[in-house]
Structure 1
Amino acid sequence: MSETLGLKEAVSMALGGMIGGGIYAVLGVVAGITMSAIWVAFLLAGAVAMCAGYSYNTLNSLTDNRGGSVTFVQCYLGNATAAGIVGWTLLFGYIGSMAMYAFAFGEFTVAFAVVPKSLGGFPARPLISVSAVAAFVGLNLLGARTTGAAENVLVALKVGILVAFGILGLVYAFGVSGASFEYGVGRLGGFEPVMAAAISFVAFQGWQLLFYDQESVEDPVETIRKAVYVSIPVAVAIYVLAGMVTVNLVPQALESHPHVALKDAASMVMQPYGLARAGAVVLALSALFSTGSAINATLFSSAHFAKGMLSDDLLPDQIGDAAADGIPERTVLVLGAITAAFTWYGSLGAITSFASLSFILVFGAMSYLAFRRRGHDEVNAVVPAVGTVGALAFFPLMLYNLYDREPNTFYMVIGIAAVVLAVELLYFERDLIQEEVVEFESGIGPVREDD
């Protein structure tokens, strides 16, 4: 492998981050809301993600210090507190993504007939999900990482299976079943597709990981720019193809067991060839491999991201050692423990919503920063404006969806957000708070006994 990654490797990494687990984790949740209008949801989410990608690329080209969200905030706002809050929000988004992938990993594992529904008196799904997280924590502690050349092969396999599934599904739908193919036109006037787009937003976040390791990318500004603009439309096309085939062929599976409906659809499209069982097994194995590799890659990237925040004093030293060679072991363990807790106690819908909320906030903020630079010749103000407005629209819809469908989770998310924000402010403004306390105490003076 060469010392730097070219365009092909960068596209593979971006696609691997999006398709690696997103389609297997969010399709059932999104389809449950919008069904045959799922294509609209993915197009809307992809459009906002593309606007965010433009904003990231624009800020990256205008910034002397290469980096991602935290660097952009530090550069253009000069506010360490704001940069830290963005970094913490993004880190929680990564944790939510890993929990989502682990949840899907457990669901597809349990879908195999040979796997029992419970183990030792505990439900098998959360046990398998937590075990997967623990396994990949162990791999990262051993220093395992995927090279660019290997990522090309892995992404080609994942994309190839999904594209083949989609094409064979269309052949089955139009040439075998004879049933009408629904496009969800009747749902276009409602809020369901927009709400589903907001929920699916987490499936379009993998591309921005490229911005955190630019020293290993050949001609990083231009290579990453092209990789973002290629990978997002490709991911949208694959999501739309797989989603439309699934909601049209197995709508009943989406109602009874939406998390693994893709497996049932794969079995159906292979039935005319006498390979129904093989189709289901291949799709399920692909899901296991994809979600597993997504956990591993996201854990690796988020640990490096956290190390950078530690170096900038944006995370407490207890999280890890910024001077450690490679990724700090303590950081990997902390991220893994929080991820395991999320995937054990949370539902897939709640985890997906939580992660999407985090990325909507950060991507909207980056679009706004790019919009603020609209006076520059290289900035087209319309694109970041659309990204900002899209994020502003998605965020309340996400909150309403949680409040309406999972009120307990809604209050839990609000509570967690309030606690995290309070901790962030206490951490980042600790010097100012300490000064205020000292001034207050000195102003009071000693208390006399007769007072």
Structure 2
Amino acid sequence: MFSFNHSENHHACHRKRGKTLGVPELIAIALGGMVGGGIFTVLGISVSLIGVYTPVAITLGGMLAALAAYSYIKLGVFYKDEGATYSFFKRTFPGSHIAASLIGWWVMFGYISTMALYAYTFASYAISGFAFADSEMTRKLVAGAVLLIFTLVNVWSVKGMGKIEDVIVYTKLIILTVISFVLVNNSQTSLPVLFEEARDVGLATILIVSSLTFVSYEGFQLVINAVKEMDEPERNIPKAIYTSLFLAVVIYVVISFGAMLAIPTAEIVQNKEYALAAGAGNVLGHWGSDLVVLGALLATSSAISGTVFGASRQMAVIARDGFFPSFLGRRVNGIPVYSIFAISGLAFLLVLAGNLQVILEFGSVTFLLVSLLMAIANLKIRHKTGSSLLLTSFAVVALLVGTMMIFYYEFTFQPEQLLFIVGLYVLLTISSLGFSLRGNKVGAK
């Protein structure tokens, strides 16, 4: 059998030193992972497809994320395993080593791809006001630098990371709120006018966009990776996840309303992730643009920090089971240092490789797929987790529809991107198969 729990000595050591993350830090980690590059990139795509109905799709995406979160929370409280997605699947379906290895590889590279996007988005905003703003190499080097900074922060201290994440996340929330209300107060149009000008939009298109916006909520599950660093997980996991999801929906809806009221639709579609900065600059002048840039820098940096924290703990658990190189499972003072450096290094390689839009789509497909698998796992052991049959079944159906919608979108509008995503899955599958054999040997010892 595989060993999913640390030794008694480790637990005793943990109890002596006490837990380091409270509810504010856990909410900050989740919001840090969610309110990152997502809203800055998804907004342009949403407005181009459905216009004024964007807030509706964002809200539906949040409801879909809440359905996904239901199973994550139930499984997280039941297993109390920082391996999260990987460990939940492995422990619910203990006979399938190959499946465990596959899901481990898919999940980790989903995190790595989103980290690459966050770093690239950070760099794009950071150099946007300089003469060398169009320099691709400068942008990639700045992305590497911010990855290194938050790698060192996570290696330095769990408590230090939590406190820094608190400051960054709550500061960025204040800034994004200010931006939103300033845009609304300086609106150039009104909702009735926007609805009047809107073209006919079918329900299917709105559902497609809600599936695409689902990636903007990726990050809530990072709370579960911190289960060893928190008190009372039964109470704190659901409180942190549901609170952060609610706040993320409110932030996204208010920002989208503000953007549509103050910025011409054509400009949002053209500028995409830069739409907020360009729009605020046009409405408020230089300081408005600077405020949006600051909000974007805080949003992406906290997303990097929260993702490094959660994903490194999951990678360490997978490595301990033999599905990644064994050195990635080693810890220094309880911190998975080698996994932290590995995740950041791989994210930087993706930044150097470029083509991050398609990598983001890979991350969104992966998040939908693994959320579906988590709902199926929770459905199987619902009697043990105390889950509702109706709610869990509904979550399975909704996540399946969402996954099919995003594949339909890729097939219809971006077939080359779909080919890249499928190719990446094939490569990861082949790699994971070799480690699944090694994992079998580790488990047999």
Give TM-score, length-normalised by structure 1: 0.83
2:295 aligns with 286
Matched, 1:76 2:57: no
Letter in 1 for 2:215: V
Matched, 1:230 2:251: no
Aligned pair partner of 1:360 in 362, 365, 368: 368
Letter in 2 for 1:153: V
**Inter-CA distance 98–32: structure 2 relative to 1 (3 Å threshold):** farther
**Inter-CA distance 178–374: structure 2 relative to 1 (3 Å threshold):** closer
- Per-residue deviation, 1:396: 2.8
Residues 160-169 or 351-360, more deviating? 160-169
- Per-residue deviation, 1:6: 2.9
- Per-residue deviation, 1:144: 8.1
Instruction: Report the Cα distance in structure 2 between the residues aligned to 1:353 and 1:399, rounded to whole angstroms.
Output: 10
- Per-residue deviation, 1:197: 1.9
Letter in 2 for 1:39: P
- Per-residue deviation, 1:379: 1.5
Instruction: Report the Cα distance in structure 2 between the residues aligned to 1:400 and 1:179, rounded to whole angstroms.
Output: 30
SS in 2 for 1:55: helix
Q: Deviations over 1:43-96 (max 9, x none)?
A: 121111101111112223333656522222222211333222222211111111
Aligned pair partner of 1:206 in 219, 222, 233: 219
1:147-162 correspondence to structure 2 within 5 Å: 147-162=161-176
Aligned pair partner of 1:311 in 313, 320, 323: 320
- Per-residue deviation, 1:262: 0.9
1:258 aligns with 272
2:358 aligns with 350
Aligned pair partner of 1:129 in 143, 146, 169: 143
1:33-432 correspondence to structure 2 within 5 Å: 33-63=49-79, 68-78=84-94, 79-112=96-129, 114-119=130-135, 122=136, 124-137=138-151, 139-140=153-154, 146-173=160-187, 177=189, 180-182=192-194, 186-250=199-263, 251-269=265-283, 271=284, 276-317=285-326, 320-327=328-335, 329-375=337-383, 378-429=386-437
SS in 1 for 2:221: helix
Instruction: Report the Cα distance in structure 1 between the residues aligned to 2:342 and 2:170, rounded to whole angstroms.
Output: 32
- Per-residue deviation, 1:182: 2.5
- Per-residue deviation, 1:142: 5.6
1:445 aligns with none
**8 Å contact kept, 1:307–1:327:** no
- Per-residue deviation, 1:118: 4.0
Letter in 1 for 2:101: G
Instruction: Report the Cα distance in structure 1 between the residues aligned to 2:439 and 2:18, rounded to whole angstroms.
Output: 45
Letter in 1 for 2:47: A
Q: Deviations over 1:210-247 (max 9, x none)?
A: 11121221211111111112111211111111112213
Instruction: Report the Cα distance in structure 1 between the residues aligned to 2:97 and 2:230, rounded to whole angstroms.
Output: 27
Instruction: Report the Cα distance in structure 1 between the residues aligned to 2:322 and 2:306, rounded to whole angstroms.
Output: 24
Instruction: Report the Cα distance in structure 1 between the residues aligned to 2:44 and 2:389, rounded to whole angstroms.
Output: 35
**8 Å contact kept, 2:24–2:166:** yes
Instruction: Report the Cα distance in structure 2 between the residues aligned to 1:380 and 1:346, rounded to whole angstroms.
Output: 43
Instruction: Report the Cα distance in structure 1 between the residues aligned to 2:439 and 2:79, rounded to whole angstroms.
Output: 29
Q: Deviations over 1:109-147 (max 9, x none)?
A: 3432x242444xx55444433443344445555668744
Q: Percent identity at matched positions?
A: 25
**8 Å contact kept, 1:140–1:332:** yes
**8 Å contact kept, 1:42–1:200:** yes
Matched, 1:17 2:33: yes
Residues 1-10 or 360-369, more deviating? 1-10
Instruction: Report the Cα distance in structure 1 between the residues aligned to 2:384 and 2:342, rounded to whole angstroms.
Output: 41
Instruction: Report the Cα distance in structure 1 between the residues aligned to 2:190 and 2:67, rounded to whole angstroms.
Output: 39
**Inter-CA distance 392–326: structure 2 relative to 1 (3 Å threshold):** same
- Per-residue deviation, 1:347: 3.7
**Inter-CA distance 93–264: structure 2 relative to 1 (3 Å threshold):** same
Instruction: Report the Cα distance in structure 1 between the residues aligned to 2:79 and 2:151, rounded to whole angstroms.
Output: 34
SS in 2 for 1:257: helix
Instruction: Report the Cα distance in structure 2 between the residues aligned to 1:63 and 1:141, rounded to whole angstroms.
Output: 26
**8 Å contact kept, 1:32–1:258:** no
**Inter-CA distance 321–190: structure 2 relative to 1 (3 Å threshold):** closer
Instruction: Report the Cα distance in structure 1 between the residues aligned to 2:383 and 2:311, rounded to whole angstroms.
Output: 33
Instruction: Report the Cα distance in structure 2 between the residues aligned to 1:336 and 1:148, rounded to whole angstroms.
Output: 18
Instruction: Report the Cα distance in structure 2 between the residues aligned to 1:103 and 1:228, rounded to whole angstroms.
Output: 26
Q: Structure 1: where are the runs of 5+ without partners?
A: 434-451
Instruction: Report the Cα distance in structure 1 between the residues aligned to 2:19 and 2:409, rounded to whole angstroms.
Output: 46
